[in-house]
Structures are given as C-alpha cells and as structure tokens.
Structure 1
C-alpha cells in the first residue's frame, strides 16, 4: 500500500463507473491574450515549442487525440531520446465564445489525465466552463499512455499488495524489505531508461510545451491533489505564463517526505473519525453504536485478526490485513462511499471479505480480470524522484512508529512502514522540499477541504501563503478535494474565476 500523495480523482472515476459513488478547476487576461512578453525559448528547445499537434479521432465520440514530443532529458534536448506524450481534447461547445484551452490533471501521481478527461471532466465539469474552453488532458511522462513506467507482472503485483505492512517480527520486516527491493528492481529492469526522468519539474516543463502547441499564451489549468503540486511547480517555473490556475486539494511542497506522510496519517485519522461519528449514530453500524473510540478499537482488533487469519472473498484471493486496511482507507476519500464501506465491513466481520477487497482493487486500479493499470508504478516513480526517502532503514521506521500511531492508532503503523519504499529506489531523488512562490504570476486559486484525508487542510493554507498571488478558498466538509462534489458555493466560485478571471474574496468559506 502506498497512500502517499494519492488522489481521489482517479479513485473517484473508478467509483463513478463501478459503484456510482462519485458526484461530479490569475485574474488576468484570457489564455489567448498576451499581457506579458513571452520569455525567450532556448534554441535547443525551439523544435519542441514550435511543433504542430496532429489531431485525429481516438475512438471516443467528440474527442480528438494527438502526440506531443518532449525531450527525455531537458539537459540534453535533441541529443538523446524523445518521449511521446499522449494528449486528448474536447472542443468548447461555444466556439465563438472560446477563451482558450483548459488543461486538467487528476493527480496521483500516476492518474491518467486522459482517462479522467474522457470519463468525467469533459462531461462532469459545469456546462458554462465546457462552453468556453477546449477541455484538454495530457498523460504526464511515465503515466498511462505516455511512456508508462512498468515494474511487476499482474501476479507479482497481487503478491505485492498482500505483503504484511505492519511487521511485528524480524522475519516479517525482512519480507517487507524484500518486497520493496523486488518492486524497485522490477521498475529498473522494465523502465530503466525513463525512470530518472519522470519528476514533477520535467512534467511541468512538458506542460509548457503543450501550452505552446495549443496556441495559448498562458496556461489555464485545474489540478487536483498531486495535480496541485504539478500546477504550483509550473507557476514557479513560468510565472509570466500563468493564466487561471485552480489548485484543489493542495499539497505543501515545503514539507519533507516524512512530514508529508505523518500529516497524511493524521488526515486519515480525521476522516475516519468523521466516518465513525456518522456510523455509531446508526443502529446498523458494524463497528458498534457506543462511541468513536469503541469503533476505532473494534476496527483495530479486526485488522489484528486478519493479520493471522485472512478471510474468504468469494474468489481465489483472501482478505488479509494489508488489503483490508487499503479498502477502508480508500473509502475515506469520499464520504459518499461510507454506505458501501459499512456494508463491506459488516460482511467482512462475518468472514466475507469480498466487499473490502473490491474497495482495495478500486484503489489499486485492478480490474476484475486481474490486470493493473500503471498507476501504482508511476506513483512511487514520481514520488521517489521528487523527494528524498522518508526513511532509509527499518530502524528509522521503528523509531517513528510512536509518532505515527499517535497520529492514527489504526492506520499509523501501516502508513509508517509504507513510507519505507523509496529507501530502495534504483535512482536517486533529484528534488528537495522547498517553498514555491511563483512571484509575478497572475492570481491563483488554492482550494482546501477541512476534513480532507489525503491532503490535509493545513497544506492548502501553507501553499496559499507561499504562492505570491494566491487566494485560499475553503470547503467546510469531508472527502478529498472540493470542486464538483456537490457544494454550489465552491463550484460557483471556481467557475466564476475560470470564466472571468476574478478569484473569490480572500478567506471565503463554503459548506
């Protein structure tokens, strides 16, 4: 399980398709207006900036697809291998009132932006936004249709997801470390050429190539979860090219990987507390009706039993502690999935684990035939390149366990051990934690949800303070991210910003 920096948007699309659980992102000139001179493009990059996209049909009604060329290594453009990055768009429904292109990214890292566009954004975004913008997505390098990172076979991935991530004996710790090492070796063997070049900085530079190829002088963008880090990185690299940027479910780029994981652990505890409060008020709550503390204890005891006695699922796989924990945490991303979680927990407590296994499979993007997308390969590939490892040795994890378990008595142990994966990564980290200021950028809109499990609300406050032109919009509620999740106040504020360029009033709060 690698929860770090995951996003709802990819999971939400799966919920929408499979379980109908998901409900439908600078003040400044429009994206086609050049208010500032464009910075000089280095000569070696001109062929990339001057390329013309060749649009074609791509099997989805109303969508066009194209391929963007980008250098594998921006330090040696034109001197080595080029990457082919997949792009898709759906044109504005009112071409005469078109403002430009709106690039969307669902986060992850590793979520397919094209999948998100074609399954949700191009139909689920408000009609008045889709009327004025060409809706555009590009799978980032290493993701989905853009030179995807590969690491394990599907059967190997099944084994990996079952690995005990709460070791309580040296032999179990050794098996977990061996699993991380095998995963890392698989990535190096299958994707070694691209593995050192899937950083967020490089993906942001690719976005600027796409902006130019689309004919926009400024970038208009909606990024969710990790997509906020990608968008903020773009703004910091190219502040004069920022149009209207919505950063929903913000990450804090100034935090270390260890602090990020610890904060996220507390975020999942906050989300579970909200779920438990709702659950114990119901006579049918599978975790009892006494108190949140009792519900937490019952869930912890259930996980402990599964550690030694996995339960049947109705298929060849059994539900152990790791997959059950992932299934419960997956449901924390969206409060509309709480009824499904209650049903799954009730069945699992009777020895029928199929419901929780389905939730875990949605999280891992495993289909009913046993095939995985590359989400869980691209995710650590980007994360382990962007920041130094949270922990270097099992001993460091053990020293931090009290802090993680204090942050979340139920989930803390698993999240601490899951943060060890980057310690064995085959390429060194190229990024470091640092504030992003984007000095001189047009107004940027940062959105935070107060009980967000994956990107805790303090991160949104921090990013809004870092970015020199940011306005913070707050959603008082549950779940991961806020746009398109049922708050008319949030949606109206974001839509107005995207269409007119006017951000909401400072410190605006919505319910």
Structure 2
C-alpha cells in the first residue's frame, strides 16, 4: 500500500456525506472573463464532474481512486493548444476535486506539485488525505483541486517520446544539470528527439505550446470554470514558477498563493542549473558527513572531504559492468546516479542511500534501482508514465537553448561545483532542445515587473537546506513580490502540508483561510 493510499485509509470515509452535500450546488460563473469570443467560450464552459475511473495511470493511483471513490470526482477542461489561435486545436486537461468538508466553503484550492511534468490530479488526493488526518481547516473551507498540466499525466494529448525499453536503458534521459557527463547530444540526435516527441504527442503545435505561460493561461480558464472570481493556489517546486508567472499575468485574479520550494525567478537557465547542482552537492556532503559519523562501515570512507571521489569510484565500474538487481534487471552508472539524486532530496533518505552504495560494493544494485525507478516513475509492470519526458519537453520551451559551446560550458561548470556527479568525462554536446519547435515566452527574470499594488500578499515558504531549490531563490521572490517569507530550518525539498511540520501547516492554513500573513521573522523547524 503506497503512502497516498495509507493517508486515505479510514480517514476520509466518514466525511464523504458532508463533502458531497457541499458540492451539490453548481458554482456561478465569475465575471472576469476575456472579451474575445473564441476565448470566452473556454472560460464559460461547464465542468462536468463524475467518477475518476479513467484518470488512474498506475496501480497505486487505481487503488487510491477506488478507495476514495465516494469522495473524489473528476472532469475534463478544454483549453486551446495555442492561445494565439483559440479557434484551432484544443487540449483536454484532467481535473480531480475533493469537495470541501465544511459548510462555510470559500472556494477552490488549486494545487501544482512541481516537476515540471508532475501530475496534480493524484497529488490532490495525497494532500486532501493529509489535511483530513490533521483536521485542517483548509479542507473545511476549500475544494482541493488538482490538475494535470497540458501534456502531463491523464491530460491529452500527453507527452510521450520514448518506448519503455528506452526508458529502462535511460536512453537520452540524463539531465545535464545533475549529470555533467550526460549523453553526447548532437544536432542529429536533438532532431530525432523532437521528431519522436511530435509523432507520439500531438504534433509540433502541441510541443511548441507546453510552456509555463501556456499552463498559467490554462489555470485561469480552470479558475473561471470552477466558479471562482479569484484563484487560491498552492504550488511546490516548479509549481512556484507557475504561481509566480500566473501572478505576473493575472495579478487581479489572485486571492492567495502559498509557494513552497521556490525556483529562483531571476536566474537564467545556466545560473540556475549550476546553483541547483551546488545544492545537491551540499546535500551529498551532508550525507557523507552523516555516513562517516553515524555508521560503522561507511562505504564512502571516514573522511567526508574525499567522499565525492570515493562515490565515483563505486559508480564508475557500473559503466562497463552493471550489477544484478531485482526482476532480472541490472543497475548501470546512469541508473545509480539517478537513484542517488532521488535520495538526496531529503535527509530522511540518507540511510537508504548508504545501504544502496554498500550493496553495490557487494555486487548488487536492488536498493538504488528501486530509488531510480521511483524517481523515473516506473510502474511494476515495466511501463512508465511520462514524467521525465514531460519535464524535458516543458523545459525545452521554458529554458534557454544553448549551442554546443554554451552547453559544454554548463556541463563543465556543473562538474566544478558538484564533483560527486562528475565522472571526469565531460563531453561536448549541444542542447537536447536544439531542434524543438516554437520558442520560449517565459523569459528571465520572470514576474519581475508584476503589479504588486494589484497583487494580494503571497506566502513564500522555503527550507534553508533545500537541495533542489536553494533558499536564496525564496528570498529573491519574496522581495520581488513584496510578500512575507516563512523560513523553515531543515534539510529537504519542500515543507508545506507534505513535510510533516505542524508549525508550517498552521501558518499556511491561517494564510489560506483567513488571509493572515505571518510576521516578517516567521520561522519553523523540521
């Protein structure tokens, strides 16, 4: 039973009748819709909710949706593929809702878990389960709404670029930010990548309109279809970028936003990638120190200052000689590195990572392969959802596209600040996105000229030791949007609701329900 299912079990069943009664009256349409007739038809659509049977993409989701069937409801939102041509093709956005449990409903709380490429529909069940377990006032006053962004999850068309066999082999799925040696991308392979994605994912028009600004427009259509005059939103990681861009584009449509694990809004792709690599190296160094001090036989040795080199000595042999792992598979270098990255998102995973490295020394790779599978979202039957493919595709629209010289410079810079992830063989390569259709409309910095006079106070949440989105980004966004910052002392990626901190959750709940901001020196610990 996965953690989402555990959260639901025995917690929400008693609340089903109250929730269903709360959602029985259709919400009126908000007045703030565009004048353009073609767009207005999208804004004025009626969202029809029903069973979620067709929305589950994994065995875990199916089990969760079956258990929560009396409480959750699903629908599809139509949006234009290209907002400059709203009369042309449309896409279908998967939406899941858990109706408010109490009688004093404020509206909808729309969620985005991050990525980019993570689905928000199933995430809403996790968050609602946590809120119910803690008897949070948030679930009393808000419908909890998750949606799979365009190209993601149960939304259609969904991004699909690789076969399951290619995914198992990690073909062209390494991330230059974290894996500086990576694959030797060429103009030819970049074109093959774009062509494969277009053929399997709805064509060039879909690929060219996957960016954050497109999703922000979708979210405003969703707000209207849900009947909310203003948006109440919670976003984690990449979801903070989506929230900040929405605030920039639709400042008067924001009621409240809680943004946790902030992507730095002023950094370009190069600088952000290097900064993120530095954050993961910091997490690795803390893991190595813990390993040396708290374990009897640390596989990285007793001197944390040379742990990066010791780590590569363990992993590099896997390039030529992968070790056996579960179900007749093997663990190679890239898989071990992806598993390591997955573990470094939170210090709670340090013991598992150390066990995995010890296991490799003993000739097996089961632990790190499991971590790699979780990160890559591999299903037990060997199939994959589209998370990593969607992540790459969305970044191809949002991020800067480097030529071979700049991409090589990036990999060299990442290798310098993150030696744990450097195998010493930094290759010359062009950007995987070199042949991607369309061009970025995101821009750096984003949300830089937002009308703060028209924008409500947002709430920025940040863990000081967050490896994936370093704390400096939260400080920057809080200053940029003139909004309060909740500082959380700890070592993990994100803290709000899913982080297990009553201090954080109380402050966020007070803000979302009563619009009460925390004091300027607000501080919690994990």
- TM-score > 0.5, shorter chain as reference: yes
Pairwise CA distance, 1:215: 1.0
Q: Indicate the RMSD between aligned Cα atoms, in angstroms.
A: 2.9
Q: Could you tell which deviates more after superposition, 352-361 or 313-322?
A: 313-322
**Residue 154 of structure 1 is aligned with which of 139, 157, 164?**
164
Query: Secondary structure, in 3 states, of the residue corresponding to 2:294?
Result: coil
Is the Cα contact below 8 Å between 1:89 and 1:134 reproduced in 2? yes
| Aligned partner of 1:284 among 296, 302, 314 | 296
Residue 74 of structure 1 aligns to a residue whose secondary structure is coil
TM-score (norm 2): 0.84
SS at match of 2:420: coil
Highest RCO, 1 vs 2 (Cα 8 Å, sep ≥ 6): 1
CA-to-aligned-CA distance 1:404-431 (integer Å, 9 cap, x gap):
2221111256998799322343444343
1:487 aligns with 2:501: yes
Q: Identify unmatched segments of 5+ residues in structure 1.
A: 1-13, 21-32
Render the CA deviation track for 1:303-338: whole Å, top value 9, x for unaligned. 222233222214443212111111011001122222
Cα distance, 1:214 vs structure 2: 1.0
Q: Which moved more, 1:45-54 or 1:56-65?
A: 56-65
SS state at 1:475 partner: strand
Distance 1:336 1:162 in 2: 30
* Residue 433 of structure 2: aligned partner: 422
Q: In the alignment, is the contact (CA less than 8 A) between 1:460 and 1:472 conserved in 2?
A: yes
**Partner residue in 2 for 1:25:** none
Q: Which of residues 139, 142, 154 in structure 1 aligns to 2:148? A: 139
Match of 1:63 among 39, 58, 72: 72
Asked if 2 retains the 8 angstrom alpha-carbon contact of 1:387 and 1:430, the reply is: no
CA distance in 2, matches of 1:501, 1:356: 43
- Structure 1 residue aligned with 2:110: 103
- Give the equivalent residue in structure 2 for 1:431: 442
Corresponding residue for 1:444?
458
Work out whether residues 401 and 412 of structure 1, in 8 Å CA contact, stay in contact via their aligned partners in 2.
no
Closer, same or farther: CA 205–488 of 1 in aligned 2, 3 Å: same
| Matching of residue 503 in structure 1 with residue 517 in structure 2 | yes
Specify which of 110, 113, 132 is matched with residue 120 of structure 2: 113
Q: Verify the 8 A CA contact 1:161 1:323 in the aligned structure 2.
A: no
SS in 2 for 1:56: coil
Distance 1:305 1:363, change over 3 A: same
Does structure 2 retain, via aligned residues, the 8 Å contact 1:154–1:372? yes
Is the contact made by 1:435 and 1:466 (CA closer than 8 Å) also made in structure 2?
no
Shift of 1:18: 10
Of stretches 292-301 and 108-117 in structure 1, the one that deviates more from structure 2 is: 292-301
1:184 pairs with 2:194: yes
- Is 1:226 the counterpart of 2:238? The answer is yes
Gap change, CA 1:370 and 1:349, over 3 Å in 2: same
Shift of 1:44: 2.7
TM-score when normalising by structure 1: 0.86
Q: Distance in 2 between matches of 1:265 and 1:457?
A: 14
Deviations 1:368-404 (A, max 9, x none): 2211101111111111101222x321x4344344422
